[in-house]
Structures are given as C-alpha cells and as structure tokens.
Structure 1
C-alpha cells in the first residue's frame, strides 16, 4: 500500500510540475500531409479499379477489395477530420492557405478520377452484387468530406472561395457516384 501511495504521489507531483502545452494539430503542414495521404490512396485505388475486368472478379474476387479501399480512404479521412478539428484553431497564414489549396486541388482531381472510374465499372459491380458496399463506403466518404470541408474552410479564410469551389466540385462528383451505386 505504501508503494502505491508513493508512486501516486510521485506521478501527481510530476504532473503538477510539468508545464502543460496544447499542441496545435490543425496546422497547415499536418493538414497537407493528411490530404496528400488521401490523394495517394485515392490514386492507388483508381489504378486498381481501372484494371478490374470480369476475369478479376471471377478468378480473384478483386472487385470486392474496392469497397474496402474506399472504407480505408474514409477512415484516413476521419483522421484528417480529427486533425483539422483539434484545438487550438489558428487561422493559417495566406501562404500556408495557398499551399493547402494546391494539395486540395490535386486531391479533388485524383478523387474525381476515381469516382469516374467507379461509375464506368458500375456494370461489373452490379453483375457480382458489389454495388451496396461501394455505395455505403461512398456515403461515409461524403460525410467525412463534408466535416473536413466545414472545418478546413474556417482555417483558410483567405482562400475561402477556392476552397468552396473545390469542395462543391467534389461533392457533386460524390453525389453522382453515390446515385449510380444506389439505384
């Protein structure tokens, strides 16, 4: 009992004596890395989806890995949402905001390519009963994108118009793809 009490006292003294600092997770470099990671995952999944054909479904079931790849993108996006919504919320400098927009533009292009590929492969997924998992994953991604956009736009007011344009453009593509896979 004495040992536990001494250990508890030592921890309490250490905690009180140590200065507490909030680490800003919503900084430009962190957000840029998050967006780049999601961009890479979207590009890799697009290559995989583009290579799908009837044989890859029959022989290897590779088509079903697309839904799990989309889920992975959604989970990575959820981490990005956490990063962009963790206080303190310091508005990014104009140069940092421009850097964020640059990677955001690339992400939107790459993700729209993935969505376009998925629309083109819809018939394959429909033949093998794979549309519902994809529709579900796409709806989850849409929620993540909306949360991320809302938080990010508050951090880059100098690039508000461009950020809104990019997010709106992506939102339209997502909704179109969700519609195709939900019918």
Structure 2
C-alpha cells in the first residue's frame, strides 16, 4: 500500500488531538507542552533558594541560614534579694558580668538570718497545751520558713559562678555575716529539736525531717560556692559550716526517729526509737 507523506502528517495530528487511538504497540506522540508545564530543572540552582525552616541546619549559614520561626523567651535571670541584675556586680571591683557583689552576698546572708530568727520566735508559741490543728499550723509555718531559706540560698548560689573572688578588704565583712547566720540558725535548730516531742505526738515529724535535709544540702552548696568568693577565709568558712552541719545532723536524726504517741501526753512524752 502506498502511503503519502501528507497522510502520515494527518494521522500524527489526529493522534495528538485524541481523535483516533494508536494501534497496539504504537505510542502517541507527547502532547504539546504549555509554558505552565515546561520543565524548570534547567533553572534549578540558578535562582536563589528559599531559607530552610525544616530539617537540620546544613552548616551553610551564609547561603541557607535556619531562622528560628517562633523564638522562645529565655527565663529571667535569678538574683539574690535586692540584687540589681546583670552588669552591676562588682566582685573585687572589676566584675561586669551577671555575678553579684560582696554587699549583695551580705544582704542574702542577713535575709536568711532574719528568717531564721523569725522562725525561732514563731516556734516559741508552740506548747504542749496546743491541740492538733494549732500544732499542724505551726509545723506548716516552720516548713515554709525553711523552704524560703533554701530558696534564698539557691538564688544567691546561681550568681556565684559569674562572680570573681572578693578582695581581702571585704571578705572579712562577708565572714562576719556568715558567723551571725550560723549562730542564729543554730539557735533555731536547738528550738526545733526541743519541740520535737510535741510534733511527734501528733505525727508531724516526717515533713520536718524532709525539709531539714534540704536545708543541709542548701547550706553545704552555699558554703562551697562562698569559699570560691573569699578563698582567703576558706578555713573560717569551713569551720562555721562544719559546726552548723553538726547541729543540722542532730536535728535530722531527731526528726527521723519512729515515735509512738503517748496516752499520758502531755505529762508523758511520746516514745521514740532512733533509726540508723
């Protein structure tokens, strides 16, 4: 059969338009490409790429920085009471970081000293004539007071690593404040130990023992960091903290006893057994 060139062109046109179907084994020619379907692969890499907000940062900070779409504000820095904040700590005179100054450390020590003295005063009202509700209220005041002391110590310690050592001209004043705190806090602990039988009668000793342990840990951490600020007074600070630790251990040992209420209370104290 003779097929002209014009016939071939006509068939190709009809196949492209879908007017006829190609026989089995033959493929229709591809449809004409519109500008919308034209390939863009040739342009890839030639155009600036958008910033990536997904996946790990590729390290090419100049060409493909990874922006933070929703930055989360950092928590406010923690400073001791009455501390003005970063850039004001003076240390031995040259600290410009977010540390603290000798006067601010003294403020913290005086704050916890006053809190200890106030707790001692509050405990003076605890007598054997009080009933469960009143004794429970006083125990809560005691626990909250100790918790506040620990919090103030922690706030101070948070600034210590950024503080250079203090000069010898101020380290003596810091130590004097520490000695005053140890004296007042030991007086408070002596009162706490003396009131043990009242709390034991009403089964309130366990929470007090728990908070005393946090006080012990907080005091030890504070002392360790304080030594770095006044290294020339290391021996004095260590001696004071060792003395306070002994009193704390005595109070903890007292309040970790297992106690049985007394039927003859208050004339007869509850029976307590030491726990090793």
TM-score range, shorter chain: 0.7 to 0.9
Q: Offset of 1:24 from its aligned partner?
A: 4.2
Runs (5+) with no aligned partner, structure 2: 1-85, 88-95, 258-276
Q: Offset of 1:67 from its aligned partner?
A: 1.6
Residue 47, structure 1, aligned to residue 121, structure 2: yes
3-state SS of paired residue (2:208): helix
Indicate the residue corresponding to 2:137 in structure 1.
Answer: 62
- Preserved contact between residue 31 and residue 83 of structure 1 (Cα < 8 Å): no
Indicate the residue corresponding to 1:146 in structure 2.
Answer: 220
3-state SS of paired residue (1:171): helix
Residue 109, structure 1, aligned to residue 183, structure 2: yes
Indicate the residue corresponding to 1:167 in structure 2.
Answer: 241
Indicate the residue corresponding to 1:177 in structure 2.
Answer: 251
Q: Offset of 1:68 from its aligned partner?
A: 1.8
3-state SS of paired residue (2:164): coil
Superposition TM-score, scaled by structure 2 size? 0.56
Distance, in Å, in 2 between the alignment partners of 1:111 and 1:57 is 27
Higher helix share: 1
Indicate the residue corresponding to 1:83 in structure 2.
Answer: 159
Distance, in Å, in 2 between the alignment partners of 1:151 and 1:175 is 21
Q: Find 1:34's aligned residue among 101, 108, 122.
A: 108
Coordinate RMSD, CA, aligned:
1.9
Indicate the residue corresponding to 2:230 in structure 1.
Answer: 156
Report the count of equivalent residues.
163
Distance, in Å, in 1 between the alignment partners of 2:160 and 2:185 is 20
